[in-house]
Amino acid sequence: MKPGDGVETYEAEAQPRLGFFTDTSVCIGCKACEVACKEWNLVPEDGLAWTGHSYDNTGELNANTWRHVAFIEQQAPDPIKQGKQDFRWLMESDVCKHCTHAGCLDVCPTGAIFRTEFGTVVIQDDVCNGCGYCVTACPFGVIGKRERAAASSPAGAGRTSGQSPDVLQTAVASDGLGVIGKRERAAASSPAGAGRTSGQSPDVLQTAVASDGLGAITKRELGGDGGMHKCTLCYDRLQNGMEPACAKACPTDSIQFGPLDELVERARERCGDLVEAGVSEARLYLADENDGIGGAGAFFLLLDEPEVYGLPPQPIVPTKNLGTIWGAAAVAAGALAVGVAAAFLRGEE
Amino acid sequence: MSATSPTDALSYYGRPIIKEPVWETDIPLYFFTGGLAGASDLLALGAQLSGNHRLRVSALAAAAAGAAISPYFLIKDLGRPLRFLNMLRVFKVTSPMSVGTWIFSAESATTAVAAACELFSVMPRLRVTAQFFAGLIGPAQATYTGALVAQSVVPAWHEARRELPVLFASSASASAGGAAAILTPAEHAGPARRLGIIGGVAELAASKLMEWRLGKLVGSVYHEGEAGKYTRLATASTLAGTALMALAGRRREGAAAAGTLLLTGSLCKRFAVYHAGKQSARDPHHTSIPQKERGGRAVTQPSSRTGNGSSPSPTTR
């Protein structure tokens, strides 16, 4: 696997590229990774809601969810059970991909997002000004914004539900087929429950002492800081020679951590073994350094098409088309100049 | 483009694959005010070079107004507004927002100098120099915002990367022409009227081209929901404004009405693009289906929503 963009600037201080291999074939959906990540990184609560989507009440990766376990229930023969069962679970622990060519890093206008000496991609919380450009540049929808408390701005502007944080609300709706339920907590109810933005009661200012992943201990407001957040691949733990919290907590080694080259080798072997054993749909996702993001620092073994897990089938870093984009802008600027010149051509009337 | 009905394609409970942009309506408002300022600066430079004093003052006033209000929208939309200066520590060509920050800074500074000299009737040579540079930067200011939204994974924006800068430049021309036509006596406003008409026609043409190039699946967002509402408003206003400017622009009232329509059309067009991006990001199929087609693989058709486990061909990469 290629080193990530920009890692060469570390010269002698560069470390072997570290990453995750998430083998979904052995994931049991325990969510220990989600819990370990929240605990270690002091990631705030992001609303308690029933989604009605199997056991997945987390929903998606976001500013306040850095590991997300997807659950898919399928009426299909389970190849691992040798056809004795016509139902199977697919479970996958999703995470930031720490792309070789990272769209978020490319577009960040403050330099808050940087490539670490381990080849991972980290947001410096003390530099980020909350412009949100990285959110639109991530092909995987990983990065999110910790919306400020609803008091000042309507956080749920473009979203489906925005509820007053002052109102204690308990609502459960069921359509009988896919149960959609929602539970709002009184003390720290989310201002935009269904939209799953972060958010805490504007009245409750919560602070906590947290490591910022750069070795410094800072006092940080939990929730509603207006900044962008995502997985740091536990940068603070890496710097101390430890494995990330999620991998450490995974009881089945579905999440494997280590030097990326070793992981890719191991993953190819594992995938080959599975296909040989009759699991013909096993495939590696983002392990190819020639794909649209140059391969990922966190790649996966999947048992179905990527979009079944909510992953893009052929992700491309938008920077790949940067030449076209700037070219089009130059042509447009030229056309504007020609247009204005044309407007003067007939001279004064 | 896609013959596949999106409802048949695979997704994770219909959830979006990418995140919806977190930008609020300050951003399309800035696209409008920034575009107006950029194109007006160039119009003012043209008027300066051709010795049209009245038009120069009008266009400079429009540019100064646009440049003065723009920072408010830009800074207000930041999650941490006090840190807006962090963008001035960095220059990155891979980030149109970073490049744009410098373009806007240079454009607004030169415009402010030119406007101040004009207002207080001082330092005419400095005013001419400042106006010259503002006019030079103007086209970049009016187009970089198109590049900014195109440099994203949002299908309705990224797939329109060739057309968006031209659309924004046209829209900016229409608004600058319209504003100057409102502010200038008819006998001096000829170039403003013509710029409004050129911009209006180009805006309508660029919109059509963009939707055609986007194809049925992604292009349709420009006609659905909020984006559809603003597209209809923009098309009607720009069409009416362009026609009225051509027919009645020589009369002061006609120019005022036509200019207002062109400004409205330009503003609505930016809102249409903004909402189209949000809507397109929310739909997982806008992300997945074009990617699969680009990858040369057929979209896997599940037999039913719950039975989508029917073994697809193994693709061990």
Residue A347 is predicted with a pLDDT of 52
What is the predicted pLDDT for the residue at B301? 40
Q: From the CA of A155, how many Å to the nearest CA of chain B?
A: 9
Q: Hey, what are A241's tokens? A: 């020679």
Distance CA A100, CA A97 (A): 9
- Per CB-CB distance under 8 Å, the chain A contacts of B294 are 314
* B125 CA: distance to closest CA in chain A (Å): 23
Per-residue pLDDT band for A16 (boundaries 50, 70, 90) equals: very high
Closest-CA residue of B relative to A102 is B94
Would you state the structure tokens that stand for residue A89, as one six-digit string? Answer: 């679970």
Rounded to the nearest angstrom, the minimum Cα separation between A149 and chain B is 11
Nearest CA-CA distance, residue A50 and chain B, Å: 14
More confident residue, A209 or A95: A95
How far is Cα B168 from Cα A329, in angstroms, rounded to an integer?
A: 9
Mean pLDDT to the nearest integer, A331-346: 95
pLDDT of B195 strictly over 50: yes
Residue A15 reports pLDDT greater than 80: yes
pLDDT at residue A76, rounded to an integer? 77
CB contacts of B172 in chain A (<8 Å) are: 336
Does the pLDDT of residue B86 top 80, yes or no?
A: yes
Global confidence as pTM: 0.85
Using CB atoms, which residue from A103, A111, A288 is nearest to B89? Answer: A111
Considering CB atoms only, which of B93, B98, B161 is closest to A328? B161
Give the pLDDT score at B193: 97
CB pairs < 8 Å spanning A and B: 315
Residue B7 — pLDDT band, cuts 50, 70, 90? low
Q: CB–CB of A324 and B86 under 8 A?
A: no
Do A281 and B314 count as a contact with CB atoms less than 8 A apart?
yes
CB within 8 Å: B165 and A112: no
Question: Model confidence at A46, in pLDDT bands (50, 70, 90)?
Answer: confident
Percent of chain A with pLDDT over 70: 75
pLDDT at B231: 98
- Would the pLDDT of B174 be above 50? yes
For B22, the closest chain A residue by CA position comes to A132
Q: Give A147's contacts in chain B (Cβ within 8 Å).
A: 22, 79
Top pLDDT among A209 and A232 is at A232
Q: Which of A74, A88, A131, A288 to mutate to test the interface with B (most CBs of B within 10 A)?
A: A131
Q: pLDDT at position A86, please?
A: 81
Q: Per residue in A272-314, pLDDT tens?
A: 999 999 999 999 999 999 999 999 999 999 999 999 999 999 9
At residue A79 the predicted structure's pLDDT band, cuts being 50, 70 and 90, is: low
* Interface touch B292/A313, C-beta < 8 Å: yes
**Cβ-defined contact of B309 to A77 (cutoff 8 Å):** yes
Does the complex come out with an ipTM higher than 0.85? yes
pLDDT tens per residue, range A94-153 = 999 999 999 999 999 999 999 999 999 999 999 999 999 999 999 999 999 998 765 443
Cβ <8 Å between A108 and B92:
yes
Mean pLDDT of B172-190: 97
pLDDT at A148: 77
Q: Which pLDDT does position A49 carry in this prediction? A: 86
Residue A165 pLDDT > 90: no
Confidence of residue B202 (pLDDT cuts 50, 70, 90): very high
Q: Label residue A122 exposed, middle or buried (CB < 10 Å: 0-12, 13-18, 19+).
A: buried
- Split at pLDDT 50, 70, 90, the class of B244 is very high
Q: B19 and A333 in contact by Cβ < 8 A?
A: no
Of A129, A145, A329, the CB nearest to B143: A329
User: For residue A173, is pLDDT > 70?
Assistant: no
Contact B173, B39 (CB under 8 A): yes
Per the prediction, chain B carries an average pLDDT of 91
Indicate the residue of B13, B292, B306 with minimum beta-carbon distance to A314.
B292
Task: Give me the residue spans of the domains in chain A.
Answer: 7-147+222-316, 317-349
Of B9, B89, B169, the CB nearest to A335: B169
A34/A43 Cα distance (integer angstroms):
10
Q: Two tokens at A341?
A: 């010149």
Mutation target vs A (from B8, B94, B213; most A CBs, 10 A cutoff): B94
Interface probe for B, chosen from A134, A136, A280 (most Cβ of B below 10 Å), is: A136
Domain boundaries, chain B: 22-294
Set of chain A residues whose Cβ sits within 8 Å of the Cβ of B154: 136
Q: What is the per-residue pLDDT for A144?
A: 96
Which residue in B27, B99, B132, B153 has the most chain A C-beta atoms within 10 A of its own C-beta, making it the best mutation to test that interface? B153
Mean pLDDT across A188-199: 38
| Rg of chain B (C-alpha set) | 22
Provide CATH code, domain B22-294. Answer: 1.20.1630.10
Give B42's contacts in chain A (Cβ within 8 Å).
Answer: 336-337, 340
Tell me what the mean pLDDT of segment A8-15 comes to: 91
pLDDT digits (tens, 9 = 90+) for A56-69: 999 999 999 999 99
Mean pLDDT of B50-73: 97
Specify the CATH number of the domain A7-147+222-316. 3.30.70.20
Average pLDDT over residues A36-49: 91
Percent of chain B past pLDDT 70, that is, above it, reads: 91
Q: Is the pLDDT of residue B299 over 60?
A: no
Arithmetic mean of pLDDT, A48-63:
93
The lowest-confidence range among A46-50, B140-144, B313-317 is B313-317
Measured CA to CA, the distance from residue A37 to residue A324 in angstroms comes to: 39
Distance from CA of A23 to the nearest CA of B (A): 14
Q: Tell me, what's the pLDDT at A103?
A: 97
Rounded to an integer, the average pLDDT of A33-42 is: 97
* The pLDDT value given to residue A337: 97
Burial of B295 per CB tally in 10 Å (0-12, 13-18, 19+):
middle
Q: How far is B12 from chain A (nearest CA, A)?
A: 5
Predicted confidence at residue B296, as pLDDT, reads 58
Q: Do B312 and A141 touch (CB under 8 A)?
A: no
Report pLDDT digits (tens) over B246-288. Answer: 999 999 999 999 999 999 999 999 999 999 999 999 999 999 9
> Which chain A positions have a beta carbon within 8 Å of B149's beta carbon?
136
Q: Has residue B228 got a pLDDT over 80?
A: yes
Task: Record the tokens describing residue B259, joined without a space.
Answer: 């200019």
More reliable by pLDDT, A335 or A215: A335
Nearest C-alpha in A relative to B191: A343
Structure tokens given for A61: 């990766």
Each residue of B156-173: pLDDT tens digit? 999 999 999 999 999 999
Residue B308 predicted with pLDDT over 50: no
The alpha-carbon gap from A223 to the nearest alpha carbon of chain B, in Å, equals 12
Residue A83 identity (one-letter amino acid):
G
Give the residue, A132 or A166, on which the prediction is more confident. A132
Residue A313 is which amino acid? P
**Mean pLDDT to the nearest integer, B195-208:** 98
Quick one: pLDDT at residue A1? Answer: 80
User: Of A59, A129, A339, which is closest to B173 when you measure between CB atoms?
Assistant: A339
Band (pLDDT 50/70/90 cuts) for residue A216 is very low
Taking the CA of residue A54 and the nearest CA in chain B, the distance in Å comes to: 10
User: Chain A residue with minimal CA distance to B316?
Assistant: A283
In the predicted model, is pLDDT for residue A208 greater than 50? Answer: no
Does B94 sit within 8 Å of A131, measured CB to CB? Answer: no
Residue B39's pLDDT band (cuts 50, 70, 90): very high
pLDDT digits (tens, 9 = 90+) for B42-61: 999 999 999 999 999 999 99
